[in-house]
Amino acid sequence: MGGHAASPVARALVAHAHQRAWTIATAESLTAGLVVDALVRVPGASAVVRGGVAAYHAEVKTNVLGVPAEVIARRGVTSREVALAMAHGVVALTASDVGIATTGVAGPGPEQGVPAGTVTVAAVTPAGQWVRSWRVAGTRECTRRAARDLALALALGALGNNHRPMGVTPCDDKEQR
């Protein structure tokens, strides 16, 4: 998603949420606001987007989003369990229908034994919950953008659009980690 235009996936996600009269909120660690930014670039997004939480630190995940500290200690901040708990937490915090969460390691090196480029995204809706993990090759910014795009695609699929992220978003950054 370059420039200032809304991405087609973000547009479709906002449109599908609007059709269902569902609201959306984000809980973002790795992306630190990129997902909610992509959503609010869509004209009319204010009808469905409730807000976003940049929960970059584990204490924010616990204190603001209600992610159990024992889950973070046992599974790690980049785990599927934490991503799902973040998504559920932001739904509860904002009284939204749909929660989208991102976590992972942008790099340049590993964090707590988790390799750089690890991306975990989750989406929860009244119809269920979805969580996926990927490894992305590229720079920090490439990894963060890929996480944004994967989160939007997973959420769109969760809203029943059959738009499932099958691979990783290609990065064309020339910079090395």
Residue type, 156: L
Taking the model in full, what pTM does it have? 0.91
What is the per-residue pLDDT across 34-54, written as a single tens digit (0 to 9) for each?
999 999 999 999 999 999 999
Q: Which domains does the chain have, with CATH numbers?
A: 8-161 (3.90.950.20)
pLDDT attached to residue 15: 96
Is residue 28 scored above 80 in pLDDT?
yes
pLDDT attached to residue 127: 92
Is residue 150 scored above 60 in pLDDT?
yes
pLDDT attached to residue 169: 45
By percentage, how much of the chain surpasses pLDDT 70?
Answer: 88
Tokens of residue 156, six digits: 């769109």
What is the per-residue pLDDT across 51-96, written as a single tens digit (0 to 9) for each?
999 999 999 999 999 999 999 999 999 999 999 999 999 999 999 9
pLDDT attached to residue 160: 82
CA distance 122 to 109: 23
Please name the residue ranges forming H helices in the chain. Answer: 8-20, 34-40, 58-63, 69-75, 80-94, 140-156
pLDDT attached to residue 3: 54
Segment 137-156 shows an average pLDDT of: 95
pLDDT attached to residue 176: 32
- Of the pLDDT bands very low, low, confident and very high (cuts 50, 70, 90), residue 163 is low
pLDDT attached to residue 125: 96
Q: How far apart are the first and last CA of the chain?
A: 21
